Amino acid sequence: MLYWLMKYVILGPLLRLIFRPQVEGLHHLPATGPVILASNHLSFSDSIFTPLVVPRKVTFIAKAEYFTGKGIKGWLTKAFFAGTGCIPVDRSGGRAAQAALDTQLAVLRAGGVAGIYPEGTRSPDGRLFRGKTGVARLALVSGAPVVPMAMLNSDEIQPTGQLVPNLGRVRIRFGAPLDFSRYAGMAGDRFVERAVTDEIMYELMELSGREYVDMYAVKLKNPPPVDRSPVAA
């Protein structure tokens, strides 16, 4: 209920008026049935603009900490993330990835739309980075089609670290559904999962027009420490 109130009554009308979303290819998203919506990730606002333009409810996962804050701020944070279709998942433990997968599988088995950012984090510089294979595993286990979605300029609307977004027209592009039924029963095969993930990332590269970098974004964000110990003579 909160999701639809946020979308159509509280925030949605205002956001549509301010950011005037320009959407291409939305007809590619099936009207019913389980769907994986795989998107590049440029800005915090991606998880706001996506539910704004997609007629069906889109479910993303979010850190459990967003739902456990105290006081008014904690309540507002929880209400915001719940209202934008996020489900809390504890990502601190060793089973974090499996917990996220199980959560999204439940969404798909109920016939819903599971939103996922294959890069695993926001792009640090606007380029498209190597996808993690969780999206492939989700597709292979669920059998759901994958619809690629490209955020084209959300990093210009709200750059990383900027609290108040810039005024501008947000642009989003959807691609044709990708069917991976030819790999049925092959979930867990790391070569197949890598091939599926790379196919999805290729479509995102084509849709977004962004440069592709064959490395994980998290490595660029958190480079290994430089060994500054003196070299023995």
Long-range residue pairs from 124-127, CB within 8 A, at least 24 positions apart, any chain: 124/160, 124/217, 124/220, 124/221, 125/220, 126/42, 126/155, 126/210, 127/210, 127/211, 127/212, 127/213
Q: Give the C-alpha distances (Å, rounded to integers) separating 117 from 76, 149, 182, 201, 230.
A: 24, 10, 23, 10, 41
pLDDT in tens, the chain (233 residues): 667 777 878 788 999 999 999 999 999 999 999 999 999 999 988 988 999 999 999 998 877 777 777 888 777 777 777 777 787 777 655 576 787 888 899 999 999 999 999 998 899 999 999 999 999 999 999 999 999 999 999 999 999 888 889 999 999 999 999 999 999 999 999 999 999 999 999 999 999 999 999 999 988 877 666 555 555 44
pLDDT score for 229? 55
Q: Which amino acid is at 170?
A: V
pLDDT at residue number 114: 96
pTM of the model: 0.88
Angle at CA 35, nearest 5°, toward 51 and 150? 55
**What are all long-range contacts of 220-226, with beta carbons under 8 Å and residues at least 24 apart?**
220/124, 220/125, 220/129, 221/121, 221/124
Q: Tell me, what's the pLDDT at 233? A: 44
- Can you name the residues that pair with 89 across neighbouring β-strands? 63
Cα–Cα distance, 210 to 67 (Å, whole number): 33
User: Domain coordinates of the chain in residue numbers?
Assistant: 33-54+97-157+165-221
Neighbours of 146 (CB within 10 A): 26
Task: For residues 164 and 59, give the distance between their C-alpha atoms in angstroms, rounded to a whole number.
Answer: 24
Q: Do the Cβ atoms of 79 and 71 come closer than 8 Å?
A: no
Which pLDDT value is given to residue 232?
45
